[in-house]
Amino acid sequence: MTLAQEAPPRTTARKPAPLHASLIVQGRDRTGIVAAVGSLLSSHGANIVSLDQYSDNPQGGAFFQRTVFSLDNLKAVLPAIEQDLQERLAKDFELEFTLRDMSVPKRVAIFASKSDHCLLDLLWRQRQGQLPVTVSMVISNHPDTAEEVRGFGIPFFHVPSMGPDKSAAEAEHLRLLRGNVDFIVLARYMQIISGDFITEVGVPIINIHHSFLPAFIGAGPYAKAKERGVKLVGATAHYVTEDLDEGPIIEQDVVRVTHAETAADLQRRGADVERAVLSRAVQWHSQDRVIRNGNHTIVFA
């Protein structure tokens, strides 16, 4: 039994306050990058709130840094910081950088099919304030979840996608998405995405695959897992590339199963892992914690 006097949840140090910005820097490692970034931000009066860095080889390997800083007059000063970064980092150090005002939530479109566990979990977490995103729309090839999605105050678009030719559906998707979203989440959207669509839409796409990749690539992973007799089933969130289930992995997790569970049981047990893994991947992506490096990710979680 629990008592009544528990205080309401306070806002958290992790959820960036309105005046925070993130700076992602990547390129070839060299002496002095951390100092240069630090000095540049200090010179504008910015206070570094968190800093993570990783180098795959300090002798000239690839370097990655995520810095979150706070600044009272952030919006006014950001252009000057960007210009300085352009001068110092891009020219002197030959680094690439991305600077982002974290007070503006990223806009996401969620694609779903009939299964609603991943979709509803994302919508519920967004409503709770756990995900710093604006859900611009939900697109589904089935109408089943329309009412529930709209109950969250979010636009729902039903775009049927039958047969092998997805071009009409994808054209409709592009009309809806263009200019409206910063990334896309496939929340158990059981349709193939074409390479053309990935190129055209031009924003990152996160998929949840219902197995511990690279085990059980492709369709029906729970049936395959049952067939192989594994003792754990898992899920994998990854960025979508043209190669089926081969994109850079963001997050994975597993749950223990036994001989007594059927393929349908595995599917149900796995569904809990899928929604947990996907929500972590979406949270990290929306907080600029994930950096892509070829087919790998650097995750400053």
* Sole binder of a second copy in the list 103, 130, 134, 180 (CB under 8 A): 130
Site string for a second copy, 82-121 (x = CB under 8 A): --------------------------------x--x--x-
What φ, ψ does residue 168 adopt, rounded to 5°? Answer: -65, -45
Indicate the pairing of strand 290-293 with strand 249-256: unpaired
- Name the minimum Å distance from CB 180 to a second copy: 22
Footprint on residues 39-58 left by a second copy (CB under 8 A): 39, 41-42, 45-55, 57-58
Indicate the pairing of strand 47-55 with strand 62-70: antiparallel
Footprint on residues 141-160 left by a second copy (CB under 8 A): 148, 151
- Name the minimum Å distance from CB 107 to a second copy: 22
* Long-range contacts of the stretch 145-152 (C-beta < 8 A, 24+): 145/112, 145/114, 145/116, 145/119, 145/120, 148/116, 148/120, 149/119, 149/123, 152/123, 152/126, 152/127
Closer residue to a second copy in complex, CB, 179/256: 256
245 as an active site residue: the answer is yes
Please pick, among 29, 116, 182, 245, the residue that the annotation labels catalytic: 245
Footprint on residues 203-262 left by a second copy (CB under 8 A): 207, 209-210, 212-216, 218-220, 223, 228-232, 234, 240, 244-245, 247-254, 258-262
- Name the minimum Å distance from CB 249 to a second copy: 5
* Residue burial 231-253, b: 16+ Cβ < 10 Å; e: rest: eebbbbbbbbbeeebebbbbbbb
Q: How many residues bind a second copy (CB under 8 A)?
A: 101
- Name the minimum Å distance from CB 167 to a second copy: 15
Footprint on residues 185-204 left by a second copy (CB under 8 A): 186, 188-193
**What residues does 22 pair with on adjacent strands?**
68, 100
The stretches of the chain forming alpha helices (DSSP H) are: 33-43, 74-85, 117-128, 146-151, 167-177, 195-201, 221-228, 263-286
Whole-angstrom distance between the N-terminal and C-terminal Cα of the chain? 34
- Name the minimum Å distance from CB 156 to a second copy: 15
Strand, helix or coil at 15?
coil
Closer residue to a second copy in complex, CB, 207/286: 207
* Sole binder of a second copy in the list 35, 76, 165, 202 (CB under 8 A): 35
Q: Catalytic site residues? A: 245
